Amino acid sequence: MAYRKTGLCLILLLFLFVTCKKDQPVSYLADHRYPAPVRDIMLLKCATSGCHNTQSKDAASGLDLSSWDKLFQGGRNGSSVVPFRPDFSFLPAFCNTYSDLGQTLLPTMPLNQTPLSREEMTVLTDWIKAGAPDAEGYVKFSENTHRKKMYVVNQGCDLVSVYDAETRLLMRVVDVGALAGVSESPHDLRFSSDQKYWYLVFYNGTILQRFNAVDDSPAGQVEIGPGSWNTMTISSDNKRAYCVNWSANGSVAVVDLENMSLMAQWRSASNLFTYPHGSAFAGNNDTLYLTAQQGNFIYKVPIDDPSSPILVSLQPGIPPSITSSLDIHELTFTPDHAFYLLSCQKSNEVRMMQTSNDSLVAVFPVGDYPQELSTSSTSDYVFVTCMEDTTHNTIGRGSVAIINYKTKSLVKIVHTGFQPHGLVIDEEKQLVYVANRNITKGGPAPHHSSVCAGKNGYVTAIDMNTLELTSFKAETFVDPFCVGIRYH
């Protein structure tokens, strides 16, 4: 009898051993690089047969979770985990069924299986809060201080989304602004010429903020006062920032970037800064060009005497007027600074002026409501977003006009997405990234709901060699207003 009991026990133990060994995923034998106990969640609950493993990922949003490295290759909808930000990571949101542990997205994962326990969700979110490191403690995207990055300003969430320019995966999410519980609407992002810092002004804020471009950590801020801070220009020596307050009685805040202090507030003696918006220097730092978003003219502001701006009409023979006509939004100079081009949002055209004498050179009819312009330094193109274009885009809203400034011709109009606004040129990859705001009705439904009020927008890209829209499309957060590139 004792022998029979012993034999039964041995058989039972052998059965359990074989069963457990059979159930263990193959990934356990490979270099999955997950730290325990995250490994158990990812490999036993997620990277299972028919779901997020290498064999089945194509039917599961292209997301392979069978190893830490494959997790950070993302899926068809981009990054599923953003280091340090479980609140903006889609993976925990799809696994979460606890209202106090963050956002919940449907369908709940594991699909048609028992949801993760509270303990498992806590392990997952705490891991991501710590940077989602691998088993050796390495945090993705942290090793290269010279990394090339793309920045998207999400005006609707008070965020800046940071993408690795090589893989085009979302790598960081940065909270911006200074007032808790108040939407400050980040509006314009600019880099110092040495690429060490990026700066931000706010449409509904009172500060200029600075961030370290290596790790995107806060690096100071300056109180510049109440205003609708729309744009800014940084001097070529990185010593001054000129922040533009868009209002009927507008102003320019001059900031000492070396000491991070406010130097002056420019207001015309005769209150002529009426709805100033776009700003730029013409190859040197002695005259600041400002667009007037109501009227037919721009300001040329001498740095040494800002109280006496020169008004330049863009309509030959017609004096400067604040009567709504052209309503110039933004301007850009050609690489040699011989010409400057301006988007006229009311007349739906781009006007080209000669810098030496401010004479009109050409007029380009473009799509409805032209906004931002970006000039290539490696080609002869100027790209212009026309945010509300329904004339050339009959199935959506918005387009990008492409102008050859040397031949003075409109080359092409490209449909990039719903309500394109900000754009930036990656000269190395010959791509033009376009931020599509997607803020009104009629735009495409996003793949994911947002944690802040509103509908997610997205970024697309134009191939500068073919002037065609590429297959790249990255969903980002609410109201992607402008974009920027940080080179090495």
Q: How confident is the model at residue 351, as a pLDDT?
A: 98
Q: How confident is the model at residue 268, as a pLDDT?
A: 59
Answer for the pair 243, 201: CB distance below 8 angstroms, yes or no. Answer: yes
Q: How confident is the model at residue 1, as a pLDDT?
A: 40
Q: How far apart are CA 374 and CA 432, in angstroms?
A: 9
Domains annotated on the chain, with CATH: 2-129 (no CATH), 149-486 (2.130.10.10)
Q: How far apart are CA 192 and CA 35, in angstroms?
A: 39
Q: How confident is the model at residue 476, as a pLDDT?
A: 93
Furthest CA-CA distance within the chain: 115
User: What is the chain's pLDDT, residue by residue, as a tens digit (488 residues)?
Assistant: 433 333 433 332 332 223 333 334 444 445 889 998 899 988 888 877 778 877 766 666 788 888 898 999 988 878 889 999 999 998 888 888 888 888 877 888 777 888 888 999 999 999 999 999 999 999 999 988 889 999 999 999 999 999 999 999 999 999 999 988 889 999 999 999 999 999 999 999 999 999 999 999 999 999 999 999 999 999 999 999 999 999 988 999 999 999 999 999 998 555 568 899 999 998 788 999 999 999 999 999 999 989 889 999 999 999 999 999 999 999 999 999 999 999 999 999 999 999 999 999 999 999 999 999 999 999 999 999 999 999 998 788 999 999 999 999 999 999 999 999 999 999 999 999 999 999 998 898 887 777 788 899 999 999 999 999 999 999 999 999 999 999 87
10 Å Cβ neighbour count for 103?
Answer: 18
Q: How confident is the model at residue 12, as a pLDDT?
A: 29
For residue 331, list its beta bridge partners.
342
What is the bridge-based pairing of β-strands 409-414 and 328-333? unpaired
Global pTM reads 0.89
DSSP 100: G
Backbone φ and ψ of 160, nearest 5°: -125, 120
Backbone φ and ψ of 86, nearest 5°: -65, -25
Q: How far apart are CA 176 and CA 173, in angstroms?
A: 10
Can you tell me whether residue 74 is helix, strand or coil? coil
113, 280, 383, 468 from 376: Cα distances, Å: 52, 16, 8, 16
